[in-house]
A = this chain, B = another copy of it.
Amino acid sequence: MGDGERDTERLRLTRRGAVTKARILQAAARLMYVQGVAATTLDDVRSVSGTSKSQLYRYFPDKDALVRDVITVQAEKRLEGQRRHLQRLGSIRGLERWRDAMVQSNALAGGAYGCPLGSLASEVADQDDKARAALAGHFRAWESLLEAGLSRMAESGVLREDADSGRLATGLMAALQGGYLLAQMAHDAEPMRVALDMAIDHVRSYAVMDGTGRTAVHLDQLPAAGRPNS
């Protein structure tokens, strides 16, 4: 999905060409993440990727196309990472581990830069409607990873049946994205932690309790429960 195919037929490329194209995309993705899309010139991309102008235009029709491919690449990377974290999500505890991972990686950057996907989104949304729509799709996909986990929690009895996993997932995403923005401004990951704590408390408010005030079932601690790490 999302390789950037168009109506016209594609340019044939050898292994070497593919490597170069990937190197360009890599450099562009990094630059656009840390400096923003608009502030990243093709000359920046050229020099960081160690290529030449003709390469850029050999592999990408123009800057917009490069941006769109960067969006695809970042979304795939992000979704891949989130899948790893969320595919076995099945308990409040699992949600907390996810929160910790998000906060920790944000703290590594001192809160700066924001969300790899979210920062692209806010910059591109009012500019390029195609890109906006693509981003919207990626966010839906991301949100459904959360939603699927919450649904499993409902089915396994961790959450009450009346919990609306779609709304809960939206709440988690909003808290995460809002947390990114506040953290970016404050240069401190703490606001993100606070925001995610709130969202998880909200999920917890739908948890089925036993008599001791603890969550009744801990699904993801029972079965296979692979490596929490990585």
Chain B CB within 8 A of A35 CB = yes
Tell me if A36 and B114 are in contact (CB < 8 A).
no
With the chains together, A135 CA to B186 CA distance in Å? 9
Chain B CB within 8 A of A126 CB = yes
With A121-B184, A167-B194, A191-B170 as given contacts, are A35 and B178 in contact (CB-CB < 8 Å)? no
The smallest beta-carbon distance between A28 and chain B, in angstroms, is 16
From B38, B122, B176, B202, A202 is in contact (CB under 8 Å) with: B202
With the chains together, A173 CA to B192 CA distance in Å? 11
Tell me if A198 and B171 are in contact (CB < 8 A).
yes
Where chain A touches its partner, the secondary structure class is: helix
The number of times this chain is found in the oligomer is: 2
With the chains together, A121 CA to B184 CA distance in Å? 9
**Which residue on chain B has the smallest CB distance to residue A195?**
B174
Chain B CB within 8 A of A62 CB = no
Residues of B within 8 Å of A186, CB to CB, are: 136
Residues of B within 8 Å of A194, CB to CB, are: 167, 170-171, 174
The smallest beta-carbon distance between A35 and chain B, in angstroms, is 6
Chain B CB within 8 A of A125 CB = yes
The smallest beta-carbon distance between A110 and chain B, in angstroms, is 12
Chain B CB within 8 A of A205 CB = yes
Chain B CB within 8 A of A155 CB = no
The 6 listed contacts between A and B (C-beta, < 8 Å) are A36-B126, A39-B127, A122-B123, A174-B175, A177-B178, A177-B182
A112-B126, A174-B195, A202-B202 given. 11 additional CB < 8 A pairs? Answer: A114-B126, A121-B184, A136-B187, A171-B195, A173-B178, A174-B179, A174-B181, A174-B182, A175-B195, A177-B182, A205-B205
